[in-house]
Structure 1
Amino acid sequence: MAVPLLVADDSRLSRRSVIKALPPELEFSVTEAANGREAIELLENTSFKLLLLDLTMPEVDGVGVLEYLSGKSDRPDVIVISADFQPEKQRIVMELGAKKFIRKPLDNEELAMTLFELGYL
């Protein structure tokens, strides 16, 4: 059965890059969001197991999406993939429940190792 996955990034190229980096042995049902507001709308109406989230997005940023998810019992596992790797920002997203912070440009092996650590592989 395919794992429901949401990829939220304002760059279409980045979304495609993240999707292409997913290990081929895993089956995902991928949905894309072009900004944080769209991600929140999708999260309100659909149950996702995994969220791959950029931080710098228009309308609502990645921190806003994580704040929306805080306290929700059915929240997906969140992996932040961002070029904004300030230590303070990393601390904030981890406190808000992100499972991992991966720097852009995305390292495919780091993503695969993170998915393994989270039990997807």
Structure 2
Amino acid sequence: MSCILIIDDSVFQRRIVSAPLRNEGFIVHEAVNGNDGLEKIRELNPDLILLDILMPEKDGLQVLRELHEKGNVIPVVMLTSDVQDSTRAECLSLGANAFLNKPVKAETLIPVITSLLAKKL
């Protein structure tokens, strides 16, 4: 089954997102901030990344920039409670594949993930 990495500083949000993914049979790993996320990306080479924008230490935009500079091919879904058009455009230019508003509902999350994973094959 596919490996998904959730990078979000909120324990609550990680639980909300990880539960339905695990129920669908995905292997789920979690990172608590951007630095932790980049380290886990190197270690795990996940099939898909769910990335929060607003985090301490290193935010989602900084993570995207680093991934973009390294030629990232892993699909990235941005998780956000509010995103401005300029932020959305910047994320897309840096390689983000989709945006989901928090709180994320399983009926929205699962189809986006399965679609992106299918395109990757």
Give TM-score, length-normalised by structure 2.
0.86
CA distance in structure 2 between the aligned counterparts of 1:119 and 1:40, rounded to whole angstroms = 20
DSSP-derived class of the 1:39 partner: helix
Structure 2 letter corresponding to 1:47? N
Q: Aligned Cα RMSD in Å?
A: 1.7
CA positional deviation for 1:39: 0.3
CA distance in structure 2 between the aligned counterparts of 1:18 and 1:114, rounded to whole angstroms = 13
Unmatched runs of 5 consecutive residues or more in structure 1: none
CA positional deviation for 1:56: 0.5
- Aligned residue for 1:30? 28
Structure 1 letter corresponding to 2:3? P
Structure 2 letter corresponding to 1:32? E
- Aligned residue for 2:10? 11
Give % identity. 35
Give TM-score, length-normalised by structure 1.
0.86
**Mapping for residues 1-121 of structure 1, pairs under 5 Å:** 2-22=1-21, 24-25=23-24, 27-73=25-71, 75-120=73-118
CA distance in structure 1 between the aligned counterparts of 2:77 and 2:7, rounded to whole angstroms = 11
Unmatched runs of 5 consecutive residues or more in structure 2: none
Q: How many residues are treated as equivalent by the alignment? A: 118
